[in-house]
Amino acid sequence: MRPLVRLWRRSLRTRVVATTVLLSTAVILIVGFALLRDVAGGLADNRREVAIAEARAGFEQAQSQLDAAVDTERAPQSQALTQLVDSLAATKGEVRSYDLVLHGPLGAAGQAPVRSSGDLDLADVDPDLVKQVGSEQGVFWTFSSLSTVGSPDRTPVVTVGSRVTDPGSHEQYALYYVFSMADQQETLDLVRNALLSGGAVLLIMVGMVAWLVSRQVVDPLRLLRRIAERFAAGNLEQRMHVKGDDDIARLSSSFNQMAESLQSQIRRLENLSMLQQRFVSDVSHELRTPLTTVQMASQVLLEARGDFDPQTARSAELLNAELGRFEALLSDLLDLSRFDAGAATLELDPVDLAEVAKAAAADESLVRAQISATALGVAEPAVVDADIRRVDRMVRNLLANAIRYSQSQTLEISVAQAADRVSLSVRDHGVGMTAEQVRRVFDRFWRGDPARSHGGTGLGLAISREDAALHGGRLEVWSKPGLGTEFILTLPRNVGEQVSGAVMPAEFE
């Protein structure tokens, strides 16, 4: 059932063909029934009229025979009545199309005798007709059916009844003519079969026509769909072939116009991105060379500061420190501009986040003496495909951030893993952040507390979030004022798969 439903929902052609065939079936059935009813009615009316006419003639003949019998005998002998039936039933060399039932005398006590041709009985005559003939004068008729010996089907018949009177005894007899309608039934069956097979052939042809017609619409639509899919997959050269001037052709040319405009937009953006990328690379090279020289000179001065007077020595120190900051800022800005230009690339290697967490917790250049960092959940290797340089930078940024702003004495770095992703959490027990601060924490150049801004560039978390996104991962933050902050970095095992959320539950949800 499900594949059928699927086919119905997915295939326009199936739907068109099925709907057409269903509706045609209904129309053919209605028309067929009406036709059949008219034909059947016509046939029956015709037969009835002929039957009544024939029966009237028969009644007159029966009455005249009875009248004639009066002249010869006083009362109609039972034999004479039988002879009457036989003579009425006798035809002139033709196939008899009726049988006779003579019932009477009417009104006698007990069951009146029945004489008939063709083994018929009074029971074969419709009881309503019997009653009508019994109570009124006149010719009456009815349609009914007879069961035939050796066949389950009943033959439709029209029965015409009337009374005949024996003028001698004045006794009344009911005489019934039972006309078979087998011929009419046969004709009707023929018509019905012709209608059925004709209808079936018609349906098949309508289905085929619907299929052919729907092809004219659906084939170009399918082609359009395939081309749109290829276009979406990045093959921007794909175009529809426009033929003619119909709706499909106009749809195709509209699609082509859309594709054209998209392609030119994309080209322009690509050009822009390339220009920006080149600019970044040029700036990088042009700025780095003098910066390197200045930094080297500053370090030479710094090493020789023992020979300087205190002011000059301090100047050398400040020069060196601020050059370091300048370098960090330049490097961060260039990284961000690479992200913005879409030019950031990954160098993938298997990276063990447990190892990274352990190394970070033990890194003395990061974790200063009065702050202790513990690594949790690092017994098992937690390997992901990632760019080690970026992972290292993210973890360092998170730690540096926690140390710089949280005023926390203890940090916990923990690692948890699932089948498809690995999370690394950096948790501090410091001052925490308000909801407003949490909202802005990844903004560029935003600092939670300007008083403690020293040392950072204000870009670390923004870059880390971009780094995480570049892997298909996430960097999320939870915080409560006074309780601390938790950053959770989640990376997919296979780079590019989007992660759904952190593996471990955050503490402040």
Partner 1 sequence: MTVRRSKHDRVLVVDDDAALAEMLAIVLEGEDLRTRICNTGDEVMAAFEQFRPDVILLDRMLPGIDGMEVCRQIRAVSGVPIIMLTAKGDTTDIVDGLEVGADDYITKPFRNNELVARVRARLRRTDPLAGRIEFGEIVLDPQAHTVTRDGKPVSLTPLEFDLLACLISAPEQVFSREVLLQKVWGYHHPGDTKLVNVHMTRLRQKIEDDAESPRVIRTVRGVGYQAIAPAAD
Q: Give the footprint of partner 1 on this chain (CB under 8 A).
A: 281, 284-285, 288-293, 295-297, 299-300, 327, 331, 334-335, 338, 345, 347, 349-350, 383, 388-389, 392
Burial of 91 (0-12, 13-18, 19+ CB in 10 A): exposed
The Cα 177–Cα 67 span in angstroms is 20
CA distance 27 to 381: 72
The least distance separating partner 1 from the CB of residue 244, rounded to whole angstroms, comes to 50
Minimum CB–partner distance for residue 292 and partner 1 (Å): 4
Judged by beta carbon, residue 273 or residue 295, the one nearer partner 1 is 295
* Tokens found for residue 7: 């086919």
State the nearest-atom distance from the C-beta of 290 to partner 1, in Å: 7
CB of 476 to partner 1, least distance (A): 25
Taking CB atoms within 8 Å and a gap of at least 24, the contacts of 75-79 are: 75/166, 75/168, 75/169, 76/166, 76/168, 76/169, 76/171, 78/113
Q: Which is nearer to partner 1, 35 or 304 (CB)?
A: 304
CA-nearest of 227, 280, 230 to 253 is 227
Beta bridge partners of 373: 411
Nearest-approach distance from CB 281 to partner 1, in angstroms? 7
Backbone phi and psi for residue 489, each to the nearest 5 degrees, phi listed first: -100, 125
Nearer to partner 1, 12 or 300 (CB): 300
> Is 58 or 473 the residue whose CB approaches partner 1 more closely?
473
- Give whichever of 198 and 342 is closer to partner 1, judged by the CB atom: 342
Task: Dump strand ranges (E) for 363-450.
Answer: 372-376, 383-386, 410-417, 421-428
Task: Tell me the torsion sign for CA atoms 191, 192, 195, 200.
Answer: negative
Q: Which is nearer to partner 1, 56 or 396 (CB)?
A: 396
In the complex, the smallest distance separating the C-beta of residue 263 from partner 1, rounded to whole angstroms, is: 28
Shortest Cβ 295–partner 1 spacing (Å): 5
Query: What are the C-alpha distances in Å from 19 to residues 12, 203, 259, 291?
Result: 10, 12, 34, 76
Shortest separation between residue 365's beta carbon and partner 1, angstroms: 12
Closer by beta carbon to partner 1, 223 or else 323 = 323
3-class secondary structure per residue, 450-508: HHHCCCCCCCHHHHHHHHHHHCCCEEEEEEECCCEEEEEEEEECCCCCCCCCCCCCCCC
Q: To the nearest whole angstrom, how small is the minimum distance from the Cβ of residue 280 to partner 1?
A: 9
How would DSSP label each residue in 185-248? HHHHHHHHHHHHHHHHHHHHHHHHHHHHHHHHHHHHHHHHHHHHHHHHTT-TT------SSSHH
Nearest residue (CB) to partner 1, 360 versus 438: 360
Which one, 202 or 388, has the nearer CB to partner 1? 388
Q: How far is the CB of 305 from partner 1 (least distance, A)?
A: 14
Q: Which is nearer to partner 1, 169 or 292 (CB)?
A: 292
CA triple 259-264-269, angle to 5 deg:
125
Contact 175, 102 (CB under 8 A): yes
Q: How many residues does the chain have?
A: 509
